[in-house]
Amino acid sequence: MFLIVVISFSLSTVVVQMEPNVDSSYIAAVYEHNVIQASDPVIPVSRSDALRNMQKNLDIYEVQAAKAAKQDVQILVFPEAGILGFLFTTRLSIFNYLETIPDPQKESWNPCTELGKYNNTEVLQRLSCMARNHNIYLVANMGDLQPCPMMTDLSSSCPPDGHWQFNTNVVFRSDGLLVARYHKQHLYREIYFDPPPKPEIITFDTPFAGKFGLITCFDIIFYQPTIELIEKGVRQLIFPTGWLNTFPFLDSVQFQSAFSLGANVTLLAANLRKETVPITSGYKTMTGSGIYTPDSATYHHAQKGDPEEGKLLVASVPVPQWVGQNVDTEKGSVRAPKTVSSVPPSSSTFHSSVKYDPLTFVLLTETEGKVNVCNGTFCCHLQYRLIPQGDSNELYALGAFAGKHNERFFIQVCALIRCAGNDVSSCGQEVLEAESKFDFVLEGTFGTTYVYPSVLASRFVLE
Ligand SMILES: *[C@@H]1O[C@H](CO)[C@@H](O)[C@H](O)[C@H]1NC(C)=O
Ligand SMILES: *[C@@H]1O[C@H](CO)[C@@H](O)[C@H](O)[C@H]1NC(C)=O
Ligand SMILES: *[C@@H]1O[C@H](CO)[C@@H](O)[C@H](O)[C@H]1NC(C)=O
């Protein structure tokens, strides 16, 4: 029944600071949204056509905000691209969907009550009034259009058309005030958006739960801003995403829960819902949202064939307690065990690709024991006892990989996986079901304290 994975990214040290001690909990909600896309997002449209498209999604947001308010939700998170859609092909094709979002660190603006202050801000106004009418903190993702400054050191990053287009999270207080604006750092094939000229570390405070940090989708993999927020002591992250599920290491709910556990933070994750999103080689699925703490997970993951529909998740979340200062300054000493048993690497290794990554594997041939497998100097060690279920005769293998994942970013992975068939050549092929149970300890010589452990069981159930 198990597919066990430990992933780490090449990051550095943890320095955690104090936060006020609040002994309480609050009610959070995330909405997984089946975004209504423009009928032809390739062709540039007028502002009124763009608004007509966006209002369809905002109508759904309105219904969900009302539903959430009825359940006493205090903060509601909508996904990345949930208002815009994500099929645009050029800067021009998204242009009329964008609004110029004033910087809440420089000025105080409540779009719902100060309607006439800026033109072309219908989306901001609608979101602000939604927050205000339902008395709820609201986080949504939209597009920000910012003219390049004329004479600053940032001008050099100005696009040729004279303005920036940012993938942006906005946060409204429960009275409608715009309290935070975050520009996504790590774009993923979004040629119509620009990364901000400088990475942004954006947080906001709430009366019910203290501080939250903002990240968007692909950002979660990288040092900036994600780990920087954590190192600054932020214990709660908000994560609007449009996540393409990548089995077996980067499925949405698998990575969300692993991140919450490994980074020891609360994660409010709202994903889009689409069964088939075309990619260069076939298609991928978008689903998988949740409210995670290191001790709990309230999540939703649609299965193949499920209806393509939205899902509101509501959970009570404890406010994180104080953590000690400077928990760790030495790489690898907090959560990542670095002392791996002296069992010599098993001799009968073989190589097989798991999606994009060539893993080095060793088969589990006994019902219990210890095995080691290395990829260069990076080693994984497994101590296990296999408890076969029924008359199943499943084949398992331990794999290690240290290298560049899908030509995009470096990872170190230790993985215990079920092979698809009874033959060595099937190890690494996609398999969605398994029956066996394991008692196990899995360790790796990770080069970082940020190690994200996950156990994914049949049909995307988290263990
Ligand atoms: C908004 O647009 C109208 C009509 O184009 C113009 O008269 C008005 O000055 C603009 N207001 C602001 C705040 O820019
Ligand atoms: C996780 O953070 C909490 C405070 O939010 C702290 O009490 C706990 O010790 C931390 N756990 C680990 C494993 O670092
Ligand atoms: C891991 O193995 C791959 C090939 O399977 C190899 O290209 C890569 O260099 C190895 N990594 C290390 C750290 O040795």
Residues 366 and 239 in one domain: no
Whether residue 1 is predicted with pLDDT greater than 60 in this model: the reply is: no
| Number of domains the chain is built from | 2
Residues 299 and 424 in one domain: no
Measured by CA distance, the residue closest to atom 4 of ligand 1 is 119
Examine the residue annotation and report whether 114 is marked as an active-site residue of this protein: no
- Of the residues 259, 323, 450, which should be mutated to test ligand 2's pocket, given the most ligand atoms within 8 Å of the CB? 323
- Average pLDDT for 204-231: 97
Measured by CA distance, the residue closest to atom 8 of ligand 1 is 119
Place of tokens 């069964």: 275
State the number of CA atoms in the 13 A half-sphere of 181 facing the CB: 22
Residues 162 and 264 in one domain: yes
- Of the residues 374, 375, 401, which should be mutated to test ligand 3's pocket, given the most ligand atoms within 8 Å of the CB? 375
Whether residue 23 is predicted with pLDDT greater than 90 in this model: the reply is: no
Examine the residue annotation and report whether 217 is marked as an active-site residue of this protein: yes
Whose atoms come closest to the Cα of 336: which ligand? 2
Residues 291 and 421 in one domain: no
CB of 235 within 6 A of ligand 2: the answer is yes
pLDDT for position 324: 38
Can you say whether the dihedral through the CA atoms of 180, 186, 189, 192 is positive or negative? Answer: positive
9 located within any domain: no
Residues 235 and 116 in one domain: yes
Tell me the DSSP string of 238-270: EEE-----BTTTB-HHHHHHHHHHHHT-EEEEE
Q: pLDDT band at 81, cuts 50/70/90?
A: very high
The rounded distance, in Å, linking the Cα atoms of 230 and 266 is 11
Residues 361 and 309 in one domain: no
Residues 261 and 393 in one domain: no
Domain that holds residue 220: 17-323
Whether residue 430 is predicted with pLDDT greater than 50 in this model: the reply is: yes
pLDDT for position 20: 47
332 located within any domain: no
Strands 25-32 and 311-318: antiparallel
Residues 267 and 405 in one domain: no
355 located within any domain: yes
State which of 307, 323, 339 marks the end of a domain.
323
Strands 409-418 and 396-405: antiparallel
Residues 317 and 362 in one domain: no
pLDDT for position 390: 80
Measured by CA distance, the residue closest to atom 1 of ligand 2 is 264
Q: Does the reported pTM lie above 0.85?
A: yes
Q: 319 in helix, strand or coil? A: coil
Q: pLDDT band at 184, cuts 50/70/90?
A: very high
Tell me which of 32, 99, 190, 217 is the catalytic residue: 217
398 located within any domain: yes
Residues 157 and 296 in one domain: yes
The residue among 344 and 177 whose pLDDT is bigger is 177
Residues 309 and 354 in one domain: no
330 located within any domain: no
The residue among 191 and 389 whose pLDDT is bigger is 191
The rounded distance, in Å, linking the Cα atoms of 196 and 241 is 18
Residues 305 and 378 in one domain: no
Q: Which atom of ligand 2 is nearest to the CA of 235?
A: 5
CATH of residue 219 = 3.60.110.10
The residue among 10 and 167 whose pLDDT is bigger is 167
